[in-house]
Each structure stands twice: as structure tokens, then as C-alpha cells.
Structure 1
Amino acid sequence: MNSHEDRLSTRQTAERLGVKPETVYAYVSRGLLTSHKSPGSRGSTFDAKEVDALARRHSRPVATGAGTDGVAPGTTTIRTGITLIDRDRYFFRGVDATALATAYPYEEAADWLWTGRITPGLRFTAPEELLSATTAAVAALPAHAGPVDRLRAAAVAAAAADPLRFDLSAESVHAAARGLIAAFAGSPPVIGRTHRADAPIARRLWARLSPARPEPAALRVLDTALVLLIDHDLAASTLAARVAASARANPYAVVSTGLSALDGPLHGAASGLAHRMLLDVLERGAAPVVSEHFRAGHRVPGLGHRLYPGEDPRAQVLFALLDEVPGARGALDAAQDVVEISARHTPLHANVDLALAVLSVTAGMPAEAGETVFAVARTAGWIAHALEEYEERPLRMRPSGSYAGPRPPQPLP
């Protein structure tokens, strides 16, 4: 054991790290510091070398070379090493994303994307005070609040409950992300079978989205979908999240920004439109439903993706897994009918939203279930982009506006 001289009190540790004493204990709860109770003493002591190592990891030099507002003029391209989309395939850090999704559960894949390490059996958990705060915040919302409303409220509450939210070191961001995703999976009310607090994220989500018993094959579809949806290059919500990270917003604020951009029919809510369409098809048949969409000048939900000239690889993987789910045949056939009838007018393939809709219809989930799955999954991607952006020059994404208003001087109104 270290000698007494090698140990620091809580006050000394806080001074060396430049934080408050309560923040020191938050570091302990996250596993970033190890505390030791001395015999006959009520206070905790800390290893000086461990404290100094933490201080070094958390010190990051401020980047230079920008203008007076920290902006590099003419920045138009965002370099990223997270996702590559190439024709009809996509890759996470060079690894085929569909292969990753079928090989690893969501927690392991997400953590690998952040750290470069696979930790078998990893579970995401949140501190009790954070879970209490997020559960109370979500419960205070009106009954008609949507899934993104609930997740935004949970993100704000989680941030308020975390005294380390402004610590942007990689280790602290990783811990915040694991706790936030656990809170997201644990905030909505349970409508299915109960579960342990350390159950896999897919199992926890299922209990909040479906009253049906979670068949292993169906749970595998949900878990695979979570991995497939972790990231998809610079989608609108991801770009928004990176802009927030560029301004050094904390990880909870980064995720809140991503959720705000996700909250729309052209992004995260698309699977809900496909869900409602499939229910209509199951009741009336595909031909009249597809015909009504074309007659109204609307796109058929769940078809086509501008980044894939062929089939959406995410949909391919999920449809193959759904084929093994008991009770999914009706929704699968309805989806196939929609694709075949629509192909007579326009050659579009099924996308991931249609696959999510097949799962949500089969499992008796609400129409918004796919949006919840999308948002929880993409949280890991936003965190990966935030970690990448935190290493860049602050405030680098500051475009210049092209003024198109009246030329001055104008009379005072």
C-alpha cells in the first residue's frame, strides 16, 4: 500500500484537480478515481499518482490558428473517421456495419465506436440519482408527449443531475454516455414484463415499447436495429450535434441538440408513417393504400434512400432476421406487397424505416416505437461525433451569412 505521504485528502484532491469536493466523489462513482477509507478516519484519501494522472488526462490545450471568434474562414468539409457510405454498403471505422450488428450487441458496439475496444458482456447502467431525476422529468410531461419529448426531458434532467457534465475528457464523456443511454432505456413507463436494471438495453427498451412477451428472435431484431442505426454519416441530427460540440456543449446538450433535429417526419419519425401505412395495408390491402399515396402526390413511406441507389443494407439485415420471428409473416408480406406494387410506378427499394415498421407492428408496439429506437440508437453516434469534434478547433463550424436584405442605409422604422 502507498505510504501516508502518497495519499491526498478530498480537499487536496479537489484543489489539485481544480474542482469542487462533490465533483471528486462523482469521479469516484464513475470509476475514474479510487477512494480509500483510512482506519479510524471518517474521510477518504486518494492516491496522489492516480489524481495527477487524471489531471493530466483532463487537461487539453486550446487550439490556435483561428480568427478572433475562433473560426477558420471557408470551412465547408467535416473530416470524420466514424462512418463511410460506399454504394450500397456502409462501414463503422472501416468495419462493415451490418457484420458488426450481427456479431455484437448494442452496448458492445457503441462502446467500441467510442473507445476502440470490445468489452464482452458490457452493460450500461446509470447512477440512482440520475435515474430518479430522469424518471421524474418524464413523468411530469403531459400524456400526449411524444417519444422525442420524453427523451429531451430525460437528457435535460440527466445533465442537471451530473456535476461532471462539463468535463469533456474522453473518459468522462464515455461514462456520461453510458449513463444517459441507460436512462433513456429506463425512463418511459413499463408496459411489458419487468426487467433488471442491468439488463441489456434492447431488453429494457422492449419492456417499454411492447406488451408482448419478448421472443428471443424478436429481441435480436431490436438489438441488431440499435447497432445498425448508431450512425449514418452526417445526417441532419448528427451535423447539428457536431455544431453543438464545436461550441463545447456538454455531451447531454449535444444529444439534446441531435434530438431536436431528429424530431420531424423527414428524419426520425419516418418509421411511424411506415407503421401506420402497414396497419392500413393489413386491413385493406396494399393496392388501394399505395394508390392513395400516389394520387395525393405523397411518397410511399419506407421506400427509397438517397444514399443508396440499390437496397438499404440495414433493411436487408433486418428483413432476414424478421423472417425468423414468430408472427411476423403478415407484416412482412404486407411490406413486400407495398414494395412490389410501388415498383410498377417507381423503382424504389425498402429502407430501414419499413423494416422497423414490420417489427413494431408485429410486436404490438405504438407507431412511435421506431422513433424511440432510432433516437436511443443514434445517441451513441452523436456521442462518437462529439468526441471527435472535441478534439478539433473550437467554434470551427461558423459559416458566414450571405446577406440578402435591403441595402443600408434605410430609414428608421
Structure 2
Amino acid sequence: MVEQRRLTTQQVAARLGVKPETVYAYVSRGLLGSRRGAGGRASTFDPDEVERLARRRRGRPDAGSAVEREHDAAGPVYSGVTLIEGDRYYYRGVDPVELARRTSFEPVAWWLWTGEERLDPQFVAPAAGLAAARAAGDALPPQAGLVDRLRVAAVAAAAVDPVRFDLRPGTVAATARGLIATFVDALPRRDGRSEDTGRDTTGSTGGAAAEGEFIAERLWPRLTDRPAGPYAVHILDRALVLLIDHGLAASTVTARAAASARAHPYAVVSAALGTAEGPLHGGASGLAHRMLIDVLERGAEPVVAEHLRAGRRIPGLGHRLYRTNDPRAQVLFERLAAMPEAAPALAAARAVTETAATHLPLPANVDLALATLTVAAGMPPEAGEAIFTVARTAGWIAHALEEYDERALRVRVTGRYEGPPPPQPLPSLF
């Protein structure tokens, strides 16, 4: 039989009523398969697969007028980024645990955004954005923390980026790559080396952060003044991979809502940062860090007892999406066990879990594992939140790319008014 004629990118775009860039986004998200045509010069597509996608799109509400969109009830949020089921999670169907064992943060992030498998995508901060971010960070008061610096870095970098409103997939991916690099390189170093010369303040030479260095290598000296051994940096890199995304968490929903309103990538990340800073989300590892420091000083039993007596949940234990173990925590604890300097922090984390298990059998989650890493490395309590932010920025952008391709303003909670019925008398103030 003669093989059915395959469609070109332009034909698929016309059939679906989208731009060619959107067709490539569908491929990167696994919604369409493609293969090279004769001579390997252009992608071609299966007409039946394109028709199935067209039918799926017809099944979703069409965009109406601005007024109609404003009053539409929000439907389910479709996403092809992360699946969580059976005490496991997957990025586009791929096990992140295996990804963390085989590759670094940058290739995984780039693959999530573009569908391209590149071994060494360079994450380099644009000069203007980095200068603006550092200047904004330097203007903060002394008590400003790491995450405060990341928030102002996003705003400052956006202000000097003239193409921030370009929402084409390729531009968004390039913007995200530069923003993550800016986040890391804008944080002040803690190891006494100059950003410009790479020299120690005492006069000895040292290597400055080079463009070819991985994000984990550049982030380490901004979180601790301890030497960055290869194994320790490797664990940090694994943590970044494991934390890229975790489904529709609170900050991710916020990011998608901003993208639904067509906010640019910097604004999407800024919106998500505001939600992530809560103690029940990105800030949870900081609470676990402080608890582990307390346990190292006083022992697990009095610390756990104080939390329970005060009616507080014990930081770092249990997760609503996993019945047994958090796979992210398992991986990090396994790696930390091979790091000699992590032994005291690991013992403290184990003591908390075992003490709490007598009345509250909850396994350790990734916040406790991340806190164990930050305590072992001599990092400040907020370091875990900074690691989370750098990693999760990649996930927020992956979700934003999906949302840019959806009907605008579709992410809207349906409200139900329960106040007093009108008309009510004017308050006496008027």
C-alpha cells in the first residue's frame, strides 16, 4: 500500500489554526510526533495524529469576546509537564530520578521547554540584566535574604530586557535560560572571591565563575563558604533536577494564571515567587533546617515534643500526594549518605523521623532532605528556598509555555458571593 502523504509544518499549522512555532511546541510536549522528510530538511507529520489533536482542541471551549472570557467558569487545566501517580512522578513521562542520575539541570530544563535533547546548553546571564540585578541587590538593606535578592533580580532584569514581551516559544526559552543564570550570578559570593577577577580577598588566586560552569557549580559558592567538592556539587545538581516541577502546586497555578493573562516570563516567575515564599511551600525547607539545627543541639525528643505541644506540624514529614515515600527525598538521602560531612545532619533527620513515628508515622519529604543538605553544607536556613526557586523557575516556565498556547484568561476561579444581599445602606463614613 502507498503510505499516506504526510503533512508539512505549514499544513499542520493551517489545519489547527495556530502558528508554526506552536506546532513545534506541541512536538516538544509530546502532543504530536514528527519525523524528517526526504533529504532530512523539514519535519513531517501524520495526518491522522493531527486530526486527533484537532478534535481534542475542538472539545475545549473556544475563545469568545473579552466579556465572555471574563465571565467564563474555569475548566480543568490540561498539562503535559508532570504526572504524579503511584508514589512516583514523571516529567513528560520520564522518571526524574533517572534523569538526575544521568544528566544535569540545564539539559533537563532545556528539554522541558523545547523538546530538544542538548547535552550542554549554556545558561549565561545577559550582561545588562545581570548588572541591573546586582545593582538592585546591592541597594537592599542588610537584613535582606537570598530570596529577597531573587525577587528583585527578576524585576530588575525584566526592566532592561526589550524583548520580554515576545512570547514565542523560542524567545521564552532563551529568556528563561538567561533569567536562571541571572538569579544565580546576581547572588553575592560567600567564599571571599571577587566576581570580576576570581581572586580571593586575601590575595590568593581562584577561579571565577566561568560561562561554561554548570548552574550547580556557580550556585554553591553563593550559598556557603565551604569548598565546593565535586560530590557535594553533584548532590546539589541532583536536587535542582528533582525540584524542577511537581505538578500543579500553588506557585505553579499562580504562574499559569499570570501566563493566562499573557504576562511576560519575568512577571510569571515573579508572581510564582510570591506564592512560593509561604512556609507551606518553598519556605518549608527553612523550617526543617532550623529544626535540624535545634535537634543537633538538644536532641530529637524535646524538639519533636515542643512542636507537638504547640500544635505545629513537624517540618519535613509527610506529603499529601505520596502514600509512602517521597521519591525526591529518597534519592537525596541516598546521595547524602555517601557524603561524610553530612553524617550529623543525616542522623538528626533520622532521629526526627523515628521519634515522630511513635505517634505520627509519616515519612520524610523533600523539604527534610533539602534541609539536611543545607545543614551539612553550612548554608543558611533560607538556602533551601533559594535552591527551590532556581530549580522551580524551570518548571514555571514550562507551564507558562503551555499556557501561552491556550485560550487567554482561561485560568480563573469561579467565585460565589456570600455577602449581604444588595441594596445595603451606605456606611456612615460616606
**Fold shared by both chains (TM-score > 0.5):** yes
Give the 5 Å matches for 1:213-224. 213-224=227-238
Report the 3-state secondary structure (helix = DSSP H, G, I; strand = E; otherwise coil) of the residue aligned with 1:85: strand
* 2:166 is equivalent to residue 145 of structure 1: no
Q: 1:326 aligns with which of 335, 340, 356?
A: 340
Which whole-Å CA distance do the structure 2 matches of 1:101 and 1:215 have between them? Answer: 18
Equivalent in the alignment of 1:114? 113
Equivalent in the alignment of 1:45? none
* Deviation for aligned residue 1:264: 1.2
Root-mean-square deviation (CA), in Å?
Answer: 1.4
Equivalent in the alignment of 2:63? 65
Does the 8 Å contact 2:73/2:412 carry over to 1?
no
Equivalent in the alignment of 1:196? 209
Give the 5 Å matches for 1:307-326. 307-326=321-340
* Deviation for aligned residue 1:67: 4.1
Report the 3-state secondary structure (helix = DSSP H, G, I; strand = E; otherwise coil) of the residue aligned with 2:179: helix
Equivalent in the alignment of 2:311? 297
* Deviation for aligned residue 1:412: 2.4
Does the 8 Å contact 1:125/1:197 carry over to 2?
no
* 2:238 is equivalent to residue 238 of structure 1: no
* Deviation for aligned residue 1:239: 0.2
Equivalent in the alignment of 1:277? 291
* Deviation for aligned residue 1:185: 0.5
* 2:405 is equivalent to residue 406 of structure 1: no
Equivalent in the alignment of 1:87? 86
Residue segments in structure 2 that go unaligned for 5+ positions in a row:
1-60, 199-207
Which whole-Å CA distance do the structure 2 matches of 1:322 and 1:404 have between them? Answer: 51
Question: For this pair of structures, how many residues does the alignment match?
Answer: 351
Cα deviation, 1:280-330, whole Å, max 9, x if unaligned, reads 111111111111111111111111000101110000000011011131111
Which whole-Å CA distance do the structure 2 matches of 1:249 and 1:128 have between them? Answer: 23
Cα deviation, 1:96-134, whole Å, max 9, x if unaligned, reads 111111211011110011111221122200221111011
Which whole-Å CA distance do the structure 1 matches of 2:77 and 2:112 have between them? Answer: 18
Equivalent in the alignment of 2:381? 367
* 2:248 is equivalent to residue 249 of structure 1: no
Report the 3-state secondary structure (helix = DSSP H, G, I; strand = E; otherwise coil) of the residue aligned with 1:84: strand
* 2:351 is equivalent to residue 337 of structure 1: yes
* Deviation for aligned residue 1:71: 4.4
* 2:408 is equivalent to residue 394 of structure 1: yes
Report the 3-state secondary structure (helix = DSSP H, G, I; strand = E; otherwise coil) of the residue aligned with 2:248: coil
Cα deviation, 1:166-217, whole Å, max 9, x if unaligned, reads 0000111011101000000111110026532412110111010010001111
Which whole-Å CA distance do the structure 2 matches of 1:93 and 1:71 have between them? Answer: 31
Which whole-Å CA distance do the structure 2 matches of 1:246 and 1:339 have between them? Answer: 41
Report the 3-state secondary structure (helix = DSSP H, G, I; strand = E; otherwise coil) of the residue aligned with 1:91: strand
Report the 3-state secondary structure (helix = DSSP H, G, I; strand = E; otherwise coil) of the residue aligned with 1:95: coil
Report the 3-state secondary structure (helix = DSSP H, G, I; strand = E; otherwise coil) of the residue aligned with 1:328: helix
Residue segments in structure 1 that go unaligned for 5+ positions in a row:
1-62
Of 379-388 and 148-157, more deviation after overlay is shown by 148-157
Which whole-Å CA distance do the structure 2 matches of 1:312 and 1:123 have between them? Answer: 31
Cα deviation, 1:319-369, whole Å, max 9, x if unaligned, reads 011011131111111111111111001110000011111111111100000
Amino acid at match of 2:66: T
Report the 3-state secondary structure (helix = DSSP H, G, I; strand = E; otherwise coil) of the residue aligned with 1:65: coil
TM-score (norm 1): 0.83
Equivalent in the alignment of 1:78? 77
Which whole-Å CA distance do the structure 2 matches of 1:400 and 1:64 have between them? Answer: 18
Which whole-Å CA distance do the structure 2 matches of 1:121 and 1:387 have between them? Answer: 22
* Deviation for aligned residue 1:149: 1.6
Does the 8 Å contact 2:126/2:182 carry over to 1?
no
Which whole-Å CA distance do the structure 2 matches of 1:83 and 1:265 have between them? Answer: 23
Does the 8 Å contact 1:72/1:396 carry over to 2?
no
Equivalent in the alignment of 1:171? 170
Amino acid at match of 1:94: G
Which whole-Å CA distance do the structure 1 matches of 2:310 and 2:423 have between them? Answer: 47
Which whole-Å CA distance do the structure 1 matches of 2:277 and 2:296 have between them? Answer: 27
Equivalent in the alignment of 2:6? none
Does the 8 Å contact 2:114/2:170 carry over to 1?
no
* Deviation for aligned residue 1:274: 0.7
Amino acid at match of 1:68: A
Does the 8 Å contact 2:147/2:382 carry over to 1?
no
Which whole-Å CA distance do the structure 2 matches of 1:64 and 1:77 have between them? Answer: 14
TM-score (norm 2): 0.80
Amino acid at match of 1:317: V
Which whole-Å CA distance do the structure 1 matches of 2:306 and 2:408 have between them? Answer: 49
Does the 8 Å contact 1:242/1:386 carry over to 2?
yes
Does the 8 Å contact 2:185/2:219 carry over to 1?
yes
* Deviation for aligned residue 1:65: 3.0
Does the 8 Å contact 2:252/2:272 carry over to 1?
yes
Amino acid at match of 2:313: R
* Deviation for aligned residue 1:147: 2.4
* Deviation for aligned residue 1:74: 2.9
Which whole-Å CA distance do the structure 2 matches of 1:304 and 1:98 have between them? Answer: 19
Report the 3-state secondary structure (helix = DSSP H, G, I; strand = E; otherwise coil) of the residue aligned with 1:234: coil
Which whole-Å CA distance do the structure 2 matches of 1:144 and 1:191 have between them? Answer: 16
Report the 3-state secondary structure (helix = DSSP H, G, I; strand = E; otherwise coil) of the residue aligned with 1:108: helix
